[in-house]
Chain A
Amino acid sequence: MIKLGVVYGLAGLVFAAYAILSIRDQTNPRRGRNALFWGLLAASFLAGDRFGDLGNGILVLILAVTAGVGRLGQGTGGGAALADRQTSALRFGNRLFLPALVIPVVVLFGTLVVKTWSLGPEPLLDPKQATLISLAAGAILAAGAAFALFRQPLITPLQEGRRLMDLVGWAALLPQMLAALGALFALAGVGRVVGDLVTTWIPMNTPAMAVVVYCLGMALFTVVMGNAFAAFPVMTAGVALPFLVHRFGGDPAIVCAIGMLSGFCGTLMTPLAANFNVVPTALLELKDRFAVIRAQIPTALPLLLINMVLMYVFAFRPHG
């Protein structure tokens, strides 16, 4: 069975290559720091399971300090000049889109078709990780297609990958760090405490009040925790089931489905949802770290209001 370990090994090697390219980059005044950062990440992917929990804890601490005290740097060389890219764009035309299309096609094929294949009694792909394994396969096949079409030197994907990775910098690691923090929050019972607070202090005498508390609570709690999945069990066990469903007789499917989407409105407004809201500001070279969130709030707030209305209107109809 192909498991995530294969993907981790590959990612480890790529990060190791970034570390080596970083240390040799004379145009980056902080090359040592960058090399240490990507090198530690490479070590984590290649051998994280052998470090033990404390070893991994120390590794994270060094990673955070490396990127957080002082800053990571960026080389000035490497990228192709605009004129070269324009010439190349004219030369290859729409063939440039072909490798880009390979990725979604492979992901689709992997998650819909290869996922059902098996090797003897075992499935070929680890079913829980089929998407990520397919994405990695898609990246490799797309690179193969790009080599065939553009005849770039073998080092190009690593050099260009490192250039983009340096552009993202520490933000690349934030989603994983926040996921780990979420696990620690769960361990400490943060969710339970928040749920108790809400139900103790806010009176929920009418369905309308309970709808507002549940939807607003989902959104706010998501803003604080960074993802709606963490908010859902807390707010649903604390507000939706006891009040909306059991006391006021609301339809649980409608309440929960719209409650989760109210949480998604919160996801649009929090820097803790780093993958969606912080990483793109680095990828798109935006000056304002909150630019994507600012662009999302005017959609998220009215949508939150509409979710409340939808829940109130549909969940309490007489059940037919």
Chain B
Amino acid sequence: MLILLGVAVVVAGFAAGFNPLLVVVASAFATGLAAGLSPVEVLEAFGKAFNDNRYVSAAWLILPVIGMLERAGLQERARDLIRGFRGMTFGRLMIGYLLLRQLTSALGLTSIAGQTQTVRPLLAPMAEAAAGEGLGEDDRQRVRALSAATDNIGLFFGEDIFMAIGSILLMVGFLDQSGVRLEPLDLSRWAIPSAIAAFAIHGARIVIFGRGLSRRTGT
């Protein structure tokens, strides 16, 4: 039971608004000490795990080129492009992106889009442009947040349809250890009903949000 102290530290620390990096370190110590490690052993275990997981932060290598494109006017061009399309509404843009993200993820192409590569430089400015001229600051923030959310939802509820994605392989491996033999395809095809449901629910929310937006901006 005491082991769960680390989990409690995370929940309380995030809720109280402490810096998350410090919360994580505190939780690591709470967990390690509760498990009977000495402080030095905790530091060693955490240091090793940090070093082993550097690949997570290596993806930031993409920022310099995104910065070059932004400086050359990529966001502004993305906005102009959307304004130039007659009939391009907020709803059509976002639902189109959702569908595209789900379909490409289902083909295993999860890394071709993402928060850094596409949402900040392209989708968010396009969504703002599609939302129209009179966009207030609160609505602008909501539009951006919904852009980020749409990318996440498209990714999560598309990728499991692809057979060779990490989560499918994890399931196959784990079940095999537990004496249940399954092929990746057995699992991945059962991701399809939830993917359709995700598209329907999130798509409906986009439409409803878009209607509210056009009422408020008067377009």
Contact = CB atoms under 8 A, between A and B. Distances in A.
Interface in B93-141: 108-109, 111-113, 115-117, 119-122, 124, 141
Interface of B: 1, 3-4, 6-7, 10-11, 14, 18-22, 24-25, 27-28, 31-32, 34-35, 40, 42-77, 80-81, 108-109, 111-113, 115-117, 119-122, 124, 141-142, 144-149, 152-153, 156-157, 160, 166-167, 170-171, 174-175, 178, 180, 182, 186-188, 190-191, 193-194, 197-198, 201-202, 205
A146 interface: yes
A142 B142 contact: no
Nearest to B141: A286
9 contacts: A96-B73, A96-B77, A143-B65, A176-B57, A180-B28, A184-B46, A190-B3, A268-B152, A310-B197
A203 to B, nearest CB: 21
Nearest to A145: B65
Nearest to B8: A224
Interface in A243-268: 245, 252-254, 256-258, 260-261, 264, 267-268
Main secondary structure of the interface of B (DSSP, over half): helix
B177 to A, nearest CB: 9
A296 B54 contact: no
Most buried by A among B18, B58, B113, B119: B58
Contact of A260 (B44, B52, B74, B160): B160
A30 to B, nearest CB: 14
Main secondary structure of the interface of A (DSSP, over half): helix
A24 interface: no
Most buried by A among B45, B72, B167, B170: B72
A146 B71 CA distance: 11
